[in-house]
Amino acid sequence: MGPPWAPGGPPSGAAAAAASAAAAAAAAAGVAARSYLETGDEEEQQLAAAVQQQQQQQQQQQQQQQQPWPQELLLHHQSYQQQQQQQQQQQQPKLDLILVQPPRYEKETAAAAAASAAAVAAAAGSQVDADRKDDAAAAAVAGDAAAAESGGLEEQLALLRVAAAAKDAALSVERQQRQQLQLELAEARRDLLQQQQQQEEQQQQQQFLLPHLGVGVDIQQTQTHRLQQQLLQKEQQLRGLAAALDSFRAQSRAAAAALQQQLQQAFERVAEVCCCCRS
């Protein structure tokens, strides 16, 4: 409650405006004081209450300046102000400390939050290190497996190269032997043709000389018999060469087919290994 109005009546408009401003300042100070009262610390609550009381005293002083109080009330109010000033002087350092520094529970909360954040960061860092170690180990295992697979693949490719070189060598030998047999066969055919021609000539000579020379006929018959024997030998030799050529061709074809099958199987294995490596 404010002081009773003087007999002069209610205050003027300026006095009312000043009183309203003082009331607003007191309300703001009361809100600030109530925020400190909610901190839960008894000492801080007492200091905040003192701040609120001081604001109320300032409001009363402003009202007194606008409208004077009676003499008795003024003396009583002055004594009360002196007591409050003494208490304020004693508690001013603590008030300054409260107004400058944040409440204690905020410091404790901030410290706890910082400690929790540090613990979470440390745990996250250890987890990241563990994940990195696991990733490094997995990469090393994968690298070893890839190296082993690449080594096996290189070995298989080397074997395939050796097999291909052996196949080329076998085919080259087969060509040479086939060419040789074909040359021998052609030579035997030429000899056979020559002997056939000689035999025909001898037969013609015999037919011409039979009526005239008996001795010459015997000689020609002997030569003809020899030529016939040589012709038979050449024919047998030619048949042997042809049979040998056919046998060699069959063997070469069988060997080439087997080697081709082995190469195809090897290439299929290499393709499977490559697909496994890519997947």
**Where does the pLDDT of residue 88 fall: very low under 50, low under 70, confident under 90, or very high at 90 and above?**
low
- Of the candidates 233, 223, 228, the one whose C-alpha atom is nearest the C-alpha of residue 188 is 233
Q: How far is CA 226 from CA 77, 195, 223, in A?
A: 173, 10, 5
According to the model, what pLDDT value does residue 30 have?
Answer: 54
Residue 104: CB atoms within 10 A of its CB come to 14
Radius of gyration (C-alpha) of the chain in whole angstroms: 65
| Mean pLDDT to the nearest integer, 64-78 | 59
Q: What is the pLDDT of residues 117-131, one digit of tens each?
A: 555 555 555 555 556
> Encoding tokens for residue 50?
């003192």
> For residue 67, which phi and psi values (nearest 5 degrees)?
-140, 115
DSSP state of 69: P
- 156 has a pLDDT exceeding 50: yes
- 103 has a pLDDT exceeding 70: no
Pick the more confident residue, 27 or 269: 269
Pick the more confident residue, 147 or 241: 241
Gap between the Cα atoms of 223 and 206, Å rounded: 11
Q: Token pair 């690298």 is at which residue?
A: 143
Q: How far is CA 228 from the centre of its chain?
A: 87
Q: Token pair 């809100």 is at which residue?
A: 31
- Half-sphere exposure of residue 138: CA atoms within 13 angstroms, side-chain side: 6
Mean of the per-residue pLDDT values of the chain: 65
CA dihedral 38, 40, 41, 47 (to 10 degrees): 20
Q: What is the pLDDT of residues 208-225, one digit of tens each?
A: 666 655 555 556 667 667
Pick the more confident residue, 94 or 227: 227
- Could you write out the DSSP letters of every residue in 101-163? SPPHHHHHHHHHHHHHHHHHHHHHHHHHHHHHHHHHHHHHHHHHHHHHHHHHHHHHHHHHHHH
User: Residues 25, 54: contact at Cβ < 8 Å?
Assistant: no
Gap between the Cα atoms of 137 and 134, Å rounded: 5
**Where does the pLDDT of residue 192 fall: very low under 50, low under 70, confident under 90, or very high at 90 and above?**
confident
- Output the furthest CA–CA distance in the chain (Å, rounded): 200
